[in-house]
Structure 1
């Protein structure tokens, strides 16, 4: 009797979740996303044909993996907001949450913001929606701080607000990549990474403070 994974009948309780978990495990273990649907199905213990019940091709699976990453990032950022107080404290908290997510999930982070996905215009609607929501979290914090007078930004100036959002995102994104790509010292301990992340967040905040609030 043939009991190989390729011949396994389709009876998985949550096949889509199993395939996502298998793809994420391969990504985490190897750092690569050039895996095939067949490889993912084999790891999940189901037939290759069964994988097509949920994903039309590998690109669809990769987009789904990225989507789970964006959803987790969005959740971490909103949780950071819930635990923070004040505009400055909130911006610091989401900056550290963003960096912490990327450092803890380097392969997934590269997938989310690398060349595995199409340009933003070509992203699947579900992926684009949650990415937009994550960006809106940052924008909302900066805008609220500007309206409260905590940041030196005109909340009615759309371009000024957008520049502040992109600047903030660029700072935490750049630090995250430097860290996961080991440009930051390989021997740096997690506690030091946390301290550096906090310092990056402080630099970001100082850049947004009114002149009299800077030290």
Structure 2
């Protein structure tokens, strides 16, 4: 499957690009917003396309079409150093514009990175990152309401540690942590696993192999 990674220069995105490049099942195009990022990717043998989530839906649609993608993994985020305004623009509006672009381009499969318990308002009512959780909550709702064949993955606290290849997935989980590399592996595994189609789930480290865990959804 030809996969477009939106947010390819992010911390999860870099894992996604590498794993997809190594895959025998998929090919990858990385969407980035800076020319130097694209050049670095192409130098390492990865197809890249320039686009910005603050661009129009028309521009994003054209980028999706030019990528030749059959599916999209959206792992972009505004990052922890920006304010609520950028969170709104990237994590919510950027995600929704990408969904609209996918629909216009005739893409069916769309996998979205969310955040653990984003569907449960009560869990983040007093959170210091409430604007981020609100953005994730409504981006998720827009994807569910779309025509796309979606999977929404809601990982716990993200760790910069090597993958352990063992996870726990469910509609509702207690808060926990998970390596970013394991998140990337789960995202890729969902692409063709029908048990994850039109499903949303929390994700933390656990005791089950990734393929086994997602088949049980």
TM-score by length of 2: 0.29
Higher Rg of the two aligned structures: 1
Q: Which structure shows the bigger proportion of residues in strand conformation?
A: 2
